[in-house]
Amino acid sequence: MGEEVNMSEYEELGGGENGGDDDRVAEWETGLPCADDLTPLSQLLIPPELASAFSISPEPYRTVLDVSRASRTTLSGIRGQHSKGFSSSDNFKSFNESRGGGGGGDPMVIEEAEETTDRDGDGDGDGSGTDPRKSRRIDCSELEADSALRAENGAEDPSSAARTLKRPRLVWTPQLHRRFVDVVGHLGIKNAVPKTIMQLMNVEGLTRENVASHLQKYRLYLKRMQGLSSEGPSSSSDHQLFASTPVPPQSLHESGAGSAHNHMHGNGHMPMPIPMSYPPPPMMPMPVLGVGHMGMPVGNHGFESHNPYNMLRQRDWSYPHVAPNDK
DNA sequence: TGACCAATAT
DNA sequence: TATATTGGTC
């Protein structure tokens, strides 16, 4: 963070060809939210009052250094998941860091969800902080979080049993899905494979399996949409979630083989850092303003400053929603 | 061997 | 229904 992001990092991402041009990057940067728009990770994400209201122990302040370190470890952690992986891992770092617009990388962290379908029973009625397990936040700071969570999860037997514990079911929140879609959009549906998506998404705790599963569904959705394209909007429920799909439909047709450097967005350049702005509240499908067809941030800024969800989003982005996954 | 993907299970 | 897991294939 203290240091500049090396622009050359935009070069080739897993087979991507043409290098990142500075002006393109600059172009991008203009689209990025300015530092003021972002909630610094070094800042408390949960106000003390709120924390106490929900019986959450307030998080410690993080220094910028902490944040930086955390993001770095996160990245390395994620990279560590694949053995051979990417030639220049920095690509992903840049993807991530530059999005922070100087604010620093913010590897997203996801929230875990109780996997038992407990929507009827299990009255979460009394908010007496009894459900740390229901929706737990995982600190993005390093592995401590993971181990802490695991300890919390299988409090009795952290060592072996914890290993065998099922990791909680991942919930694809609109934010998370949005990130997914953005990455897929940048890769092009044809090049979007679970591993790459997972890495580009840079979401702590997200596994390839998670992505694969979601990708499967997403592809089905795209197929269906293409099939129905002329027949009006689908009434399916996933439409709500997927409605925010910027992925160019032609990508599917684009069986056009190997041109991996799909003209993706005009010039087939790298997946750029994606300023994640995701206007729609879950129940309100709306056209995606956030990402134009060029993958460029389009209407974000006004939105960001006005949209009340913005704050939430910030929170969602930088903060956990993750399922701990130890592999 | 690992990744992808479709089918199937939960 | 959404997500996880499995099994075949490359």
DSSP assignment string, A201-259 = HTEET--HHHHHHHHHHHHHHHHHHHHHTTS-----THHHHHTT----THHHH---TT-
Angstrom distance (rounded) from CA A147 to CA A143: 6
pLDDT for A118 beyond 60: no
Q: Bigger pLDDT: A229 or A187? A: A187
Neighbouring-strand partners of residue A203: A108
Q: What is the pLDDT of residue A218?
A: 93
For strand C, the positions having any atom within 7 A of a protein Cβ are 1-6
How far is C-alpha A191 from the geometric centre of its chain's CA atoms? Answer: 18
pLDDT for A205 beyond 70: yes
Nearest to A106 by CA among A73, A71, A138: A71
Q: Bigger pLDDT: A110 or A30? A: A110
Angstrom distance (rounded) from CA A18 to CA A11: 7
Q: Bigger pLDDT: A72 or A242? A: A242
- Please give the structure tokens belonging to residue A231: 């027949």
Q: What is the pLDDT of residue A126?
A: 35
Q: Could you check: is the Cβ of residue A270 within 7 Å of any atom of nucleic acid strand C?
A: no
Q: What is the pTM of this model?
A: 0.47
- Dihedral sign, Cα of residue A144, residue A145, residue A146, residue A149: positive
Q: Could you check: is the Cβ of residue A214 within 7 Å of any atom of nucleic acid strand C?
A: yes
Span A152-166, average pLDDT: 45
Q: pLDDT, tens digit, for every residue of A122-155?
A: 333 333 333 333 333 333 333 333 333 333 333 3
Express as a percent the part of chain A with pLDDT over 90.
9
pLDDT for A199 beyond 70: yes
Nearest residue for B3, CA–C1'? A195
- pLDDT-derived band of residue A202, with 50, 70 and 90 as boundaries? confident
Q: Bigger pLDDT: A4 or A166? A: A166
Q: Which fold has domain A174-226?
A: Arc Repressor Mutant, subunit A (1.10.10)
Express as a percent the part of chain A with pLDDT over 70.
19
Span A158-184, average pLDDT: 76
Name the closest nucleotide to A167, judged by C1' and CA.
Answer: C4
Nearest residue for C6, CA–C1'? A209
pLDDT for A174 beyond 80: yes
Neighbour tally for A296: CB within 10 Å: 18
C-alpha to C-alpha distances, A268 to A11, A16, A295, nearest whole angstrom: 12, 8, 11
Kindly list the domain boundaries of chain A, sorted by start residue.
39-73, 174-226
pLDDT for A79 beyond 50: no
Report DSSP state, residue A34: P
What is the distance in angstroms measured between the alpha-carbon CA of A85 and the sugar C1' of B1?
14
What is the distance in angstroms measured between the alpha-carbon CA of A167 and the sugar C1' of B8?
20
Angstrom distance (rounded) from CA A177 to CA A214: 9
- Dihedral sign, Cα of residue A155, residue A131, residue A106, residue A49: negative
What is the distance in angstroms measured between the alpha-carbon CA of A212 and the sugar C1' of B4?
9
A113 phi/psi in degrees, rounded to 5? -130, 145
